[in-house]
Amino acid sequence: MTRPTQVAYFGPDAKDAAVKRRIVSMQQAGLAVRAYTMRRQDDADHGWDNVDLGYVRHVAFVRRIGAILRAIWRLRGHRDALRAADLWVARNLDMMVVAYVAHRMSGARAPLVYECLDIHRLMTRGDFVGRLMRRAERGLVAGSVDVIVSSPGFLREYFHPHYGSALPATIIENRLPAGSIATPRPAPGTPPPGHDGRLTIGWYGVLRCPRSLALLRRVAGELPQRLQVVMHGYTKPEDLPDFDAQVAGIPNLRFEGRYRYPDDLERIYGGVDLVWAGDFHDAKFNSRWLLPNRLYEGGYFGVVPVAPADSETGRWIAERDVGFVLQEPLERTLPQFLATVTTQQIAEKRQRLLELPEQVFVQPPSEIRDYVGRLVPAAR
């Protein structure tokens, strides 16, 4: 019997939902995954074979160099297992540095893939620091066989301009792993779950965007009888240091805290009409180029997205006519939209959303299986 293809996956945070999603999708594709991950909180069982590379803080990239060096040092004791892997995948620049050095240190011959699901703002700077970082990344890219991105915007706006249109790259969107949601998708024509009669908009995930928070606080304050704002997820003090104070004292704005991925998705999306899919954390670059998880999670459950028009998310929504895209200034257009949108208009967009094939939102195991098979024709 042929053994399963073995993948060494390098992740920046063992508890990060995107890391879990990728590992689970690989496992469902029949791959044997050993993850080498850092952590940003206490370690725990993960549901996969995991090698702890140590604790790393939410700090600036330069200040994470120590954690990168410690991770490389820890990998010295895993050289045999690393050499046995058929494919290496490293998510983000930090882990690509770790994997690149470990690949050479271990004498591994397996192909190395760079998975880049966010472009750090350091990489987009036009000064000496930015040029130096891109030069380092260019060397790492040259040592890989492929680059995985989650949005065409990353290729069009960043990788192709800096590294050439011939760069080997593959778009693998942030869709839900197959089988991760126990509840079947609502059928077209299924009405949204009832609530207290007010329009409800949700904001979920890593809540890191000061402007999004300010916009949602504003609309909650302006439309207290018409609108509810519900937030689920977690914040980082360095992004929203006064988050608790900002969400306090607004009766129709609720912060519900963390949720379990993917177990709680049905619950948190089941009670909202709209999902806020905008992001301005890095407004000129990464935020304009990405396609957020909320797009796929909400789409699976028929929750209609709202996003700024001048973004990759806005283009995705407009091309399929499955949501609402708003022009700047959002401080004016978002309250105006929420004050006037009708339940019929939302129902029409929901219908189009639910008519899309499920594979728009759920990643079939064949996608990862075929991708890995293209890079590793047969296990050694």
pLDDT in tens, 350-375: 999 999 999 999 999 899 999 999 99
What's the token pair of residue 339? Answer: 């004050």
CA dist 187 to 174, 272, 300, 329, Å? 22, 17, 10, 36
List, edge to edge, every strand of the sheet that includes 274-276.
253-255, 227-234, 199-206, 274-276, 304-308, 324-326
- Asked if residue 127 and residue 140 are part of one domain, the reply reads yes
Give the CA-trace dihedral at 253, 291, 297, 230, to 10 degrees.
0
- Asked if residue 315 and residue 371 are part of one domain, the reply reads no
- Asked if residue 105 and residue 219 are part of one domain, the reply reads no
Domain count, the chain: 2
What's the token pair of residue 345? Answer: 């208009």
Query: Tens digits of per-residue pLDDT, 80-115?
Result: 999 999 999 999 999 999 999 999 999 999 999 999
C-alpha count within 13 angstroms, C-beta hemisphere, residue 253:
20
- Asked if residue 300 and residue 238 are part of one domain, the reply reads yes
- Asked if residue 235 and residue 223 are part of one domain, the reply reads yes
In-domain check, residue 189 = no
Q: Tokens 């969400």 sit at which residue?
A: 247
Give the H/E segment covering residue 296: helix 293-300
In-domain check, residue 192 = no
Query: Tens digits of per-residue pLDDT, 201-245?
Result: 999 999 999 999 999 999 999 999 999 999 999 998 889 999 999
- Asked if residue 320 and residue 172 are part of one domain, the reply reads no
CATH of residue 83:
3.40.50.2000
Predicted local confidence at residue 58, as pLDDT: 64
In-domain check, residue 123 = yes
In-domain check, residue 191 = no
The mean pLDDT of 256-280, rounded to a whole number, is 94
- Asked if residue 258 and residue 158 are part of one domain, the reply reads no
Residue 141: give the domain boundaries.
6-178+364-375
Among 113, 116, 287, 273, CA closest to 192: 273
The pTM is what? 0.94
- Which residues lie closer than 8 Å to 169 by C-beta, 6 or more apart? 146, 147, 148, 149, 155, 159
Predicted local confidence at residue 380, as pLDDT: 45
What's the token pair of residue 96? Answer: 């690509």
In-domain check, residue 1 = no
- Look up residue 175 and give its DSSP letter: P
Among 287, 264, 149, 115, CA closest to 211: 287
- Asked if residue 17 and residue 115 are part of one domain, the reply reads yes
β-pairing, 227-234 with 253-255?
parallel
Query: Tens digits of per-residue pLDDT, 167-210?
Result: 999 999 999 998 888 889 999 988 887 666 799 999 999 999 99
β-pairing, 49-55 with 87-91?
unpaired
Contact 81, 105 (CB under 8 A): no
Instruction: Quickly state the pLDDT bin for 1 (edges 50, 70, 90).
Output: low
- Asked if residue 141 and residue 92 are part of one domain, the reply reads yes
Query: Tens digits of per-residue pLDDT, 294-316?
Result: 999 999 999 999 999 999 999 99
Contact 240, 213 (CB under 8 A): yes
Contact 326, 334 (CB under 8 A): yes
- Asked if residue 65 and residue 121 are part of one domain, the reply reads yes
In-domain check, residue 96 = yes
- Asked if residue 157 and residue 37 are part of one domain, the reply reads yes
β-pairing, 199-206 with 49-55?
unpaired
Among 13, 23, 85, CA closest to 49: 23
- Asked if residue 371 and residue 320 are part of one domain, the reply reads no
In-domain check, residue 161 = yes
In-domain check, residue 252 = yes
